[in-house]
Chain A
Amino acid sequence: MADSVEEIKKAQKLYILIGAVLFTFTVVTVAVATQPWLDFGGHGFDMADMTIGLLIASVKATLVGAIFMHLNHEKKLIYYVFGLGIILALALMGLTGFHYIDPLEYGNALEGTGFFNPANPVDD
């Protein structure tokens, strides 16, 4: 563990820096979502804004995990455990979300415009 006093002293600057980066990213997220001059994709809220918002959030979460939670230098065991949790959470989300995909009837959602609502099958 990099927990010796010298290393902690050194790390403190990093913590401040990461804090500042997190603050900045938060401001950027809000600006992208609310300011007309920073509107990605079409006018107003759309897939592009959502993607950017989630991307920034993922980066922020990674920073918190890696630096504040010391995942950048952790034991393998903890990677396994936490990684397994994340993989399974994504599996739950993905497999649940794809429930209705039917290439024959509704068109292929993966190639189309996104998820398909079974109530509105797409006409060919």
Chain B
Amino acid sequence: MSAAAEVHASDGHDDHGGDHHELGFWQKYIFSTDHKTIGIQYGITALLFLAFGFYLMMVMRWSIAYPHEPLPGWMSWFLSDEWKSRWLQDGKVTGETYNMFGAMHGTIMVFLGIVPLGFAAFGNFVTPLQIGAIDMAFPKLNMVSYWLYFLGGLVMCGSFFVESGAAKSGWTNYSPLAGFADSQIVNQLLAGQTQWLLGMVFLISSSLLGAVNFLTTIINLRARGLTWMRLPFFVWAMLVTGFLLLLAFPPLEVAAIMQLMDRTTGSSFFMPSGLYSKTAGLLEASGSGSPLLYQHLFWFLGHPEVYVLLLPAIACVAEIIPTNTRKPLWGYKSMVYGVIVLGFLSFIVWAHHMYLTGMGPVVSNFFQTTTVLISIPSVILLTSMLISLWGGSIRFNLPMLWAAAFIPMFGIGGLTGLPLAFNLVDLHLHDTYYVIGHFHYVVAPGVLFGLFAGIYHWYPKITGRHMNTFLGHLHFWPSLIFMNLLFFPMLVQGMAGFHRRWYNGGDAYLMEKAEGANIFGNTVAEWLWLNPVMSWAAWLLAASQIPFFINFWSSIWFGKKIKNDNPWDATTLEWATPTPPPHGNFTFDVNVYRGPYEYSREDHEGDFYPQWEEPKRDEPADEPAEKPVS
């Protein structure tokens, strides 16, 4: 048969480990080329960054809820007096600090937290297992990806401690705002804005290498018999995500390089003529640059990036639902085609982030149309998962809880996005908390819930032990409540017109004549009482993550041991490996005989029929095992 068989045959014996020398600590845990170790490295690093990003947000929420009070000790005791005297005014969060934290919160959450957790960690650990591969196609490249990511993260976060502070021009880093910020620093390498860009170049390079690796692995290392339509949906989602990263990130790299040029060589790609700032005076540059060009290049990545965040979460949920409803995933094929169409469309909707820039109606109409179109595949995905629940005898274990919560939460996130697709509505809503609420509904209770589901689901495969159920519930229910308490009021405030960038919680709306701030001033003022509500929800949400961290670390040693290698009675290939999977993953020659979600088949005893289980002689074969794919 194919060469794969030979390699696997020569490779997949029990004595496999014997003919390799033992790797030292450094090679085994730090500079490992094993996709599972790298996945775990990504996961833990990303969780730490998520926690850091969350902290930044808590400080911001303080500034919004209590703008006149000093930051309380429990949020600032570990900061040095020198740092505090530079960045806090009488202990209060200043506008500059708020901007810095805001910009870094966005950047860290998106680029250092969720993408590495969803795509890199789960993708790395689960994908090769699910396709029956022994490792990624390019293991060394995989290691380089991780370390580039780590380096990028360090450079970015290190900038909190330089004199200029970290980047402070929003996570989008729009020029000319970003061009002016920190421009007073003589040695630009020590300016936070520049370090943000450098970090970005590292992160992008890491993502590009990762994407090449993932795609090659999925295309070329599938096990024998694992045809395209037998791939678990998880793998499909990773495939599409890989393409998004591969083709959407380079324009951002271009934007980052051009902005780096603006900062270090004095060019003015993004700096228009005649710019004047109070601190720097008239801009001494050639001018005539185009801030719009930056926005185009940024959002060409920015929009696909949303799907890069989202798809891994949907992927996790799509694995967990059939496993716990003991039913096949409803509409598997339409989900696959849906996700491919979604991936393609996500490349041509980017300018709906830019309606406010005054683009011409031709382009605007084009983007409105594509944006509305993209809701179709999204709805297909969500509906399929919803219908998959119908008539199932659902096991409400921890992963399933999160997965079940994901569906309505992401639903709210998606539906609140529809009004923003239309230019006219967006003009009002764009700079308000409505957009923040919408986006966070997608990413926090949406994506993060999906990823938590994934963590609870695959934890037994990684460690051989279950996570504690009680602590899991203690994590889930408060998280669900506080997430909604945190983000739903944002939609309300936003529709009232509350501006999204005000660091002091909208003090301007409370002036004698509130309409002086904005025509919606009085309306907004009525809703300002929600500020402390949301802030407290945010801090309690942080507290609700404590059980998770305890659970995550303690279960490694104290969790309930799993009964066998396939504790959830699942059908996909990752459950066919020993636990935890050894170097080389599989102990037998992997052959796939059927689709990924063969639950409760009437012609088969037992309620699940794993992909790797050889059919009995009298059973009819499902479909031809080998099918040329291209």
Which residues of A are at the interface with B, using a C-beta cutoff of 8 A? 75-77, 84-85, 88, 91-92, 95-96, 98-104, 106
Contact = CB atoms under 8 A, between A and B. Distances in A.
A91 B348 contact: yes
A84 to B, nearest CB: 7
B360 A92 contact: no
Contact of B360 (A75, A77, A85, A102): A102
Given A84-B243, A95-B348, A95-B366, A100 B300 contact: no
Contact of B362 (A76, A77, A91, A103): A103
A91 B347 contact: yes
A88 B247 contact: yes
Interface of B: 219, 243, 247, 251, 292-293, 296-297, 300, 347-348, 351, 357, 359-363, 366-367, 630
B174 to A, nearest CB: 16
B347 A100 contact: no
Contacts of A100: 359-360
Given A75-B630, A76-B630, A77-B219, A92 B362 contact: no
A53 B284 CA distance: 35
For the residues of B in contact with A, the DSSP-based class is helix
Nearest to B348: A91
Name the 8 nearest CB pairs between A and B, nearest first: A102-B360, A101-B360, A96-B296, A77-B630, A101-B362, A76-B630, A99-B359, A100-B360
Contacts of A95: 296, 348, 351, 363, 366-367
B360 to A, nearest CB: 4
A88 B357 CA distance: 22
Contact of A98 (B251, B300, B360): B360
B41 to A, nearest CB: 29
A88 B346 CA distance: 11
A111 to B, nearest CB: 12
Which of B243, B247, B359, B360 has the most chain A CB atoms inside 10 A of its CB? B360
Contacts of A104: 361
Nearest to B220: A77
Which of B296, B359, B363 has the most chain A CB atoms inside 10 A of its CB? B363
B461 to A, nearest CB: 31
Contacts, number: 45
A77 B361 CA distance: 37
A99 B296 contact: yes
A13 B629 CA distance: 34
Nearest to A79: B630
A92 B363 contact: no
A106 B362 CA distance: 12
Contacts of B292: 99
Contacts of A102: 360-362
28 contacts: A75-B630, A76-B630, A77-B219, A77-B630, A84-B243, A84-B247, A88-B247, A88-B347, A91-B347, A92-B300, A95-B296, A95-B351, A95-B366, A96-B293, A96-B296, A96-B297, A98-B360, A98-B362, A99-B292, A99-B296, A99-B357, A99-B359, A99-B360, A99-B363, A100-B360, A101-B362, A101-B363, A103-B361
Contacts of A106: 360
A78 to B, nearest CB: 9
B371 to A, nearest CB: 13
Contacts of B293: 96
A116 B143 CA distance: 49
A4 B317 CA distance: 48
B464 to A, nearest CB: 38
Given A88-B247, A95-B296, A99-B351, 6 more contacts: A76-B630, A85-B247, A91-B347, A96-B296, A99-B296, A106-B360
Contacts of B251: 92
A98 B363 contact: yes
Contacts of A88: 247, 347
A104 B219 CA distance: 49
Contacts of A84: 243, 247
A77 B300 CA distance: 24
A77 B218 CA distance: 13
B514 to A, nearest CB: 35
A43 to B, nearest CB: 27
Contacts of B366: 95
A92 B630 contact: no
Contacts of A101: 360, 362-363
A91 B247 CA distance: 12
A88 B219 CA distance: 21
B353 to A, nearest CB: 13
A103 B347 CA distance: 25
A48 B367 CA distance: 32
Contact of A92 (B219, B296, B361): B296
B236 to A, nearest CB: 15
Contacts of B359: 99-100
A119 to B, nearest CB: 10
Which of A84, A96, A102, A106 has the most chain B CB atoms inside 10 A of its CB? A96
